[in-house]
Amino acid sequence: MCQTNQGLKLISTEKNYLGKCIQNIGVAMKSGAGMEIEWHPYINLYKVNSENIKSLYDENKIKEDPFTANLRAELAVIATEMACLPSLACDVTKFFSQNFINCASKLSEAIKKLICFYEKENMGTKSLLNKRLAQEVWLYRHLLSSGNKVLLSHGPSASLEEFSKAIACFISIPMEGSSKVGESLTIQKDGKFFMGKVYDQSYFLGESFLNFILCDASIEYNSPYVKEFMQENGFKDVTIERTTSLRNGRKNVWIVKGVKA
């Protein structure tokens, strides 16, 4: 969220928000001054007819906003399922075009490589990470297909055990209901009381491991467009590297650097 004259506004409603910040700051920078950005893309999963998918990413959308990971929602879901639930890979060929399968397979391979990388970085075993992804993508698919919100006792930022229990007894809430996203509620159903927080598609995705890995998988594709944007806005010697931040000590973050020309 950001504060505007009209009150609070979702940053995600602004196109190329980070790019505009870079442009504004860049104008005031002296030649030779350095800019360093810790880049974790906002992700935009949008709906489109699967038959119309010709490429993994929409180049026009990336050029419009290179700092955002733009992916077709169904493609992202299927690719993630193919990566964490290999038994589903064969079923995909029965329902989708060859172009769609090729795109999903490419993203699926990127996700598999990242899972191996995360395991080496002690984020968890492949089995554990795959299980978490499978659970999240299952609930995200429900949110997409139903159009409802859900009440969860523990969200996707919780431990695997807590999240597993939460999705085993989540409550689906119609979108036209009075409940607000992010609020803690108590709902009575079948004589029992359920307590939790309300999630819609965006709020759930924002906290999820699914969001994290899809952003990470998109960075390689977006990087040339980010470099081009930086150069067009007066920066040279632009680099993008996964490293440890010298500012806050965070490991395995993507750092964009440039020097004002």
User: Which residues 6+ apart lie within 8 Å of 99 measured at CB?
Assistant: 53, 54
The residue that leads in pLDDT, 153 or 12, is 153
pLDDT in tens, 166-204: 998 899 888 665 568 888 988 888 888 889 999 999 899
Is residue 10's pLDDT more than 80?
Answer: no
DSSP collapsed to 3 states, 149-183? EEEECCCCCCCHHHHHHHHHCCEEECCCCCCCCCC
- Helices first, then strands: H and E counts in the chain: 9, 11
Which of the four pLDDT bands, split at 50, 70 and 90, describes residue 5? very low
Phi-psi region of 67 (alpha: psi -120 to 50; beta: other; left: phi over 0): alpha
Dihedral angle, C-alpha 87, 93, 95, 98, nearest 10 °: 140
Q: Of 170, 175, 187, whose CA–CA distance to 146 is shortest?
A: 175
Q: Of 171, 175, 174, whose CA–CA distance to 185 is shortest?
A: 171
Average pLDDT over residues 63-75: 92
Average pLDDT over residues 74-99: 83
Beta strand 42-46 pairing with 68-72: parallel
Q: In this predicted structure, which of 50-54, 125-129, 194-198, 233-237 has the lowest mean pLDDT?
A: 50-54
What is the per-residue pLDDT for 118?
Answer: 95
What is the per-residue pLDDT for 114?
Answer: 96
What is the per-residue pLDDT for 9?
Answer: 40
Give yes or no for a contact between 211 and 133, defined as CB atoms under 8 angstroms apart: no
What is the per-residue pLDDT for 3?
Answer: 38
CA-to-CA separations, 129 to 31, 47, 133, 196, 200, in angstroms, rounded: 45, 26, 6, 24, 23
What is the per-residue pLDDT for 190?
Answer: 81
What is the per-residue pLDDT for 178?
Answer: 54
What is the per-residue pLDDT for 42?
Answer: 87
